[in-house]
Amino acid sequence: MKRVLIALALCAPLFAATADEAAPAAAKDAFTMGDAGAGAAKAATCFACHGPGGNGAINPAWPKLAGQHSSYIVEQLVEFKSAQRKVAVMMGQAATLSDDDMHNVAAYFAAQKPVPGVASKDAVAVAEKLYRAGDAARGLPACSACHGPTGAGNAAADFPRLGGQNAAYAAAELNDYKTGERGSQGKGQIMAAIAAKLSDPEVQALSSYLSGLQ
């Protein structure tokens, strides 16, 4: 019996090493292969504007990042870094990030739980039909066709999450698409064409509606 115990004791380190080697590595983000753990430290700088965990509680004019698709975050950071998208503060922040940093930060924010806002009742009356059905007479497609019925977006197609977004930020971006400030190429051209057909009251209603969408 003693020989058996001694043998097991001698083998224990080997068994432990084998178990350690078999332990799975931390999961990487499915779309960017970023490491959310590594991104957490870099993301801390972002909290000053985007709020703890990216939930946008600091200033409603700045976007919520929590739960946003990692691929979309990386796409936007690349555009800021190349000055294709011109927002002075973000251009400065993105300039300091390596590709790995972008992927890791994006993975971190994508993993955070978004906190929805609240839509006004008046906004729902105007915006719900536009969001869910569009307006065929004006050539307006339903927002839900790309961004989903709950505003969750489509990560594979890089269509961003809109549900729960700060209303003031959403309105500003729709207006930038409407005036041509954004949307010079790619998917932005689609958004520019759509926003150009929206009235100012519709922009405000849709933005409030998106804030409460979940």
Domain limits, CATH 1.10.760.10, in the chain: 36-110, 121-212
CATH number belonging to the domain at 121-212, selected among 3.50.50.100, 3.40.50.300, 3.30.70.270, 1.10.760.10: 1.10.760.10
Q: Is CATH 3.40.50.300 the classification given to domain 36-110?
A: no
Residue 64: φ, ψ to 5°: -75, 140
pTM of the predicted structure, to 2 decimals = 0.85
- Cβ-in-10-Å burial (0-12, 13-18, 19+) of 198 comes to buried
5-63 per-position pLDDT tens digit: 333 333 444 333 333 333 344 689 999 999 999 999 999 999 999 999 999 888 999 99
pLDDT (mean) for 197-204: 98
Token pair in block for residue 129: 């039909």
135: helix, strand or coil: strand
Whether residue 60 contacts residue 49, with contact meaning beta carbons closer than 8 Å, is answered with no
CA distance 1 to 120: 76
Per-residue pLDDT tens for 110-165? 999 999 899 999 999 999 999 999 999 999 999 999 999 999 999 999 999 999 99
